[in-house]
Structure formats: C-alpha cells, structure tokens
Chains A and B, each alone.
Chain A
C-alpha cells in the first residue's frame, strides 16, 4: 500500500506538468459541457442535469484513454522496466495509475457539478452521494479497462486503434451523447452489454434524481464487479518489457473482463427493467421540457 501511495503522488505530480493532461482532462470536458449547454438548454434548463450526467460520464470514461496510452508509452520507452528492479509489483504500478487518475478527475467533476448548479441554473444539486460513488467506481472500472487494452497491445498505434473502436462504442451506445431511448429496440439491447451504459445511466439518474436508491445500487454493483474483474485481468496481463509479448492463451483473460457486463446485460435484457428506466427517464425529460416551454411562453 505504501508503494502504491508513493507512486500515486509522483504520478499526480507528473500529470500536473503535462500540458496534454490539462487539455484532455480539463479543457475537453469543459468544451463539451459548454457546447452541450449552449446547444440544448437554450430551449429548457431541464436539460442541464442530463447534460451534467453525460459530461460526468465522458469525464470519467476519459481515464480509459489516458491510462492505456500512458502505460504503453512507459513500456515502449523502457520506463516500466526500471520500476521492475525495486521491490514494486504490478499491483502497485496499476493501482497507483488508477488512484492518481481518480484524484485528478475529482476536482474536474466537482467543478462541472458546481458550474451546472451555479452558472447554468440546474434546479438541484442532484444526488451528490450517488454521483460521488458512481464517479469513484466508474473511474476505477474504466481505468482498469484501459490498462487491459495497454497490456494486450504492443505499440502505441495498435493501442490507439483499439481505443478508438471501443471509445466510439462507449460514447454512442452508452447514452452519454445520444439518448438511448431514440435507438431501435435491438440496439438498446446491445447497449445493455456495454460497461459505459451502466455509468451513463447511473450518472444521469443521479444528476436528475430520477432513480431509486436500488437502481443506483444496481449501476454501482455492475461497475464495481466490472472493476474488480478488469483490475485482476490487467494485473495478470501486465508486461514490464517492451519486447515481451502476451501469449495467445493469456489474451483469453480479456474475455473474462467482459463477464460481469455479459451477466448484467443478459439479466437486464430478460427483465427489461433497465430499458424501461431509460425510456421513462427520457419521457420525463421530454415532458418536463415541454411543460417548461409552455409556462415560459406567455411571459415572452
């Protein structure tokens, strides 16, 4: 634990000296937030909590990109192999990257929530506890998934290619950028198997306060299980040396990381509860936004 903390501190320091970190971790989510608010909440400020949920989701999911790229860079440059000499195992190396990423994402998350409430006039703070829990577990899950990608790819080019493919699915099939409710039924079912969906739905529910504690708990448990399995898989696949290759059989471990979401996806697909929840959230929003437009219209 001591090594994990030592490494976490130094990783935070290094990130603070990196301009790319500020651009991708701070500026990009802000651009997304301001852009979405300008575009959507002009018609109704009821959209703001939804936008907040989506922005928080992309902020948290950003750890997927950041950590995989960092790990591959460190391995390619021979930095990792220097850390292999002292008594530091793969666990502290990976855990420290997840923790540092989380600690750096927290202020951004706080800033986004405060901005929505105070500047964009979000009507309530949302369910802050649920937001905190989901951001925490989501950050750990997506960091671990990024670390798995970094462990099975050999070059930065390969990493970026795979990252892009997965990122697109996360972004467009999670509900973070396009409401899932407008998708055809079969595509909605596919989304149930995507980790990002649990984060996006959870954070949307937490920001809009539309979910019951049990529903938020379901999202939390799915992400927590996902994290636990993904972290263990990334630890098993971790490579210190640039020339070390992952054996083909070991790559099957990657499939293990998907098991929690396959299980949850199948369960949700059978019960249909999550899709109902997503549909209901969307209808509530549409209704509220229509009502607000009508009540605001006579004033104009």
Chain B
C-alpha cells in the first residue's frame, strides 16, 4: 500500500467549550471511497472542513495529497473538489454560468458540457439556481465539485434531506466516481449509503472514531447476529427478552425492542410463545440482516439517528 492521499492524525477541534473533534485519526488511500459515518453532531463536518482547508485544527496533523490544507493555499485548492453541507448560490445565477464560473477559477478544467450531461443538467443549463429542485441543486453541487477534475473529492452529507429517488441518483453518481478511481471522502448518517458506497468506513461518535474498517469487517463485529425489532401492546416482564432462545443481546429505544439473535426463527417462536403466556400482543415485528447500524448500537448503545 502506498502513501495515503488523505492522512489525519490525532485531530482536535473545539468551538468554545464544545469539543467537536477529539483525537480523530484515519488514512485514505488513493482511489478509495472512505466514509465518515455518525449521527448529527458527531464531528464529521468539522473533520471534513478542516481537510478542505475551511477550518483550522486546534491540534493534530492533516495532509491531503501531501499538502497541509491550512498553509498550502492555491496548490491545495487546485487538487480538491467539495460538496459542502450548507452552501448556496445566488438565485439568479444560471446553471451553466455557475459551472463555467467555477471552472474559470482553476488551471485544470473538466469539460463543462460533459459535466452538465453527466449530471443530467443539460436541459436545465439556462435555468436559474433559485428555480432548481433540491435534487437538481445537489447534482449541480456535485458537478461544480468536479469542474477542476480534482484528485480528492469531499462530499459532506451529499444526500441529506433528499427524497429516496434523488438519493439513489446521487448514489449512482458517486458510484461513477468510484469506477473512475477518484478518491472520495464521504460523510453520512445514512447506513445504506455507507454500506453501498464506501470501501472503508470510520464510525464517528462524540468527536471520536469508535471503529473503522470495511463495511464487511465492521458488520462481522456484530457476530453475524440478525436484528429483530418488535413493538408490543403492553410492557414486558423484566429480563424476559434476554432469556429467549438465540438472543445475544437486546435494548429498548422509544418503545421498540431491538433484539440481536444468532438463531432468528427460534427467537421469534420463543417470543410469540412467551407473549401468549403473558397475555401480551405483538404490534409489529421486523427483521434486519446485520448492518452498520448494529455495529453502532453495539458500540454506543444508541441508534445512529437518535
């Protein structure tokens, strides 16, 4: 393995009394899609914005393409592209103008017509930014992140707030970047996004990386258990769930009981029998194959989107 294209060592960042990033370390190889997965407020955006050169780290070492984002100025900016979490453009700026404007700032430029076609914005080239839908704005943001054909692309919550169909469209675009061997650093709080798109994932919580590896490696941590989520008509007898056959562990989140089972069919049969015996009723039952959500629950005792 060569020198990592992104290197973060023992990164710290505070805002007043709030410690947003507390000793984060990770490395990303060239051509890799690396995900920072964590709930809102975990410190993902602070990390990424330090890497983009938009914020100053309090402590720690950061290198992107061998450069220090804080001090390398234009040389650094020429090498990166980014979709920021909260940003905008003037409402009266046309799509084509936005892409051409930003392309003109760089020495190396991608073909702007190609970008418009690739991001399905060709028909919207003369539309004002203010008239675009949320999905179109995000596609434009992605196109603008690529106007300089960057070596590293930072995508900060690129699908947040978008409907599932638009989200899938964005996934397709990111997968295209992946096929094109672009290095991508992606932050997200969507499990399926991290699982589908990322070669490797760092799970971030309260400003710390609590686990990292490939999605497969991380899922293996939950020991191949299946997640069963049940809602019941009445409260349960203390400790009853833990005694059911095959149950490796369980937790309650807002009235939903989450069980991790190594033998799901036996667990469900035992649960139904037990409920009958206690004159209780199942209101709903859902089963999930092992996911990064389970890893997060296991490590933090909380759900990702709590």
Binding site for B on A (CB under 8 A): 2-3, 6-7, 10, 13-14, 17-18, 74, 77-79, 81-82, 84-88, 240-241
- Please state if A86 and B77 are interface contacts (CB–CB under 8 Å): yes
Can you pick out 25 interface pairs between chain A and chain B where the beta carbons lie within 8 Å of each other?
Answer: A6-B104, A6-B105, A10-B97, A14-B90, A14-B92, A14-B93, A79-B87, A81-B54, A81-B84, A82-B88, A82-B89, A84-B54, A85-B52, A85-B54, A85-B77, A85-B81, A85-B82, A85-B84, A86-B77, A86-B105, A86-B106, A86-B148, A87-B74, A88-B105, A241-B54
Interface residue total, chain B, C-beta cutoff 8 A: 25
For the complex with contacts A78-B87, A85-B82, 5 further pairs of A-B residues with Cβ separation under 8 Å are A6-B104, A10-B93, A13-B97, A87-B74, A87-B105
Chain B residues with CB below 8 A from A81, complex form? 54, 84, 86-87
Which residue of chain B lies nearest to A79 when distances are taken between CB atoms in the complex?
Answer: B88
**Contact of B87 with A17 in the complex, beta carbons under 8 Å:** no
Contacts of B89 in A (CB 8 A): 79, 82
The complex places the Cα of A82 from the Cα of B88 at a distance, in Å, of: 7
Q: Write out the residue numbers on chain A whose beta carbons fall within 8 Å of the beta carbon of B106.
A: 86-87
| A88 neighbours in B (Cβ, 8 Å) | 105
CA distance A245 to B144 in the complex (A): 28
B52, B73, B86, B88 — most chain A CB neighbours (10 Å): B88
Chain A positions within 8 Å of B54 at CB level: 81, 84-85, 240-241
Q: A86 vs B77: C-alpha distance in the bound complex, in angstroms? A: 6
Q: Give the shortest distance, in Å, between A13 (CB) and chain B (any CB).
A: 7
A245 → chain B, closest Cβ, in Å? 11
Q: Which of A2, A79, A81, A85 has the most CB of B within 10 A?
A: A85
Cross-chain contact of A10 among B52, B86, B101, B144 (Cβ < 8 A) = B101
Q: Is residue B78 contacting chain A, with contact meaning CB distance below 8 A?
A: yes
Determine how close the nearest CB of chain A comes to the CB of B15; give it in whole angstroms. Answer: 9
A86 CA to B52 CA, complexed, in Å:
10
Question: B288 at the A/B interface (Cβ < 8 Å)?
Answer: no
Inter-subunit contact A77/B88 (CB<8 Å): yes
Q: Does B253 contact A (CB under 8 A)?
A: no
- Nearest residue in A to B94 (C-beta to C-beta)? A13
The CA of A61 and the CA of B80, in the complex, are separated in Å by 40
A100–chain B nearest beta-carbon distance, Å: 13
Which B residues lie within 8 Å of A3 (CB)? Answer: 104-105
> Which chain B residues in 198-226 approach chain A with CB under 8 Å?
none
Least Cβ–Cβ distance between B43 and chain A, in angstroms: 16
Residues of B near A2 (CB, < 8 A) are 104
Please report the C-alpha to C-alpha distance between residue A10 and residue B77 in the assembled complex, in whole angstroms: 21
Residues in chain B near residue A79, CB distance under 8 A: 87-90
Is there contact, CB below 8 Å, between A87 and B77?
yes
Complex CA gap A79/B130 in Å reads 13
Interchain nearest-CB distance for A16 vs B (Å): 9
Task: Report if A82-B84 is in contact (Cβ < 8 Å); known contacts: A6-B105, A14-B90.
Answer: yes
Cα–Cα distance between A20 and B8 once the two chains are bound (Å) = 47
Q: Which residues of A contact B88 (CB under 8 A)?
A: 77-79, 82
How far is it, in angstroms, between the C-alpha of A130 and the C-alpha of B223 when the chains are bound? 83
Shortest distance between the CB of B49 and any CB in chain A (Å): 9
* Closest-CB distance, B243 to chain A (whole angstroms): 51
Which of B73, B89, B144, B148 lies at the interface centre, i.e. has the most chain A CB atoms within 10 A of its CB? B89
The distance in angstroms between the C-alpha atoms of A84 and B55, with both chains bound, is 11
Kindly list the 7 A-B residue pairs having the minimum CB-CB distance in the complex, ordered from nearest: A86-B105, A87-B74, A17-B92, A87-B77, A82-B87, A78-B87, A77-B88
Most buried by A among B89, B105, B106: B105
Q: Which of A10, A77, A87 is in CB contact (< 8 Å) with B73? A: A87
User: What residues on A are CB-neighbors of B105 within 8 Å?
Assistant: 3, 6, 86-88
* B107 and chain A: residue at smallest CB distance: A87
A6 pairs with B101, CB closer than 8 A: yes
CA distance A240 to B87 in the complex (A): 11
Chain A residues with CB under 8 A of B97? 10, 13
How far is it, in angstroms, between the C-alpha of A74 and the C-alpha of B88 when the chains are bound? 9
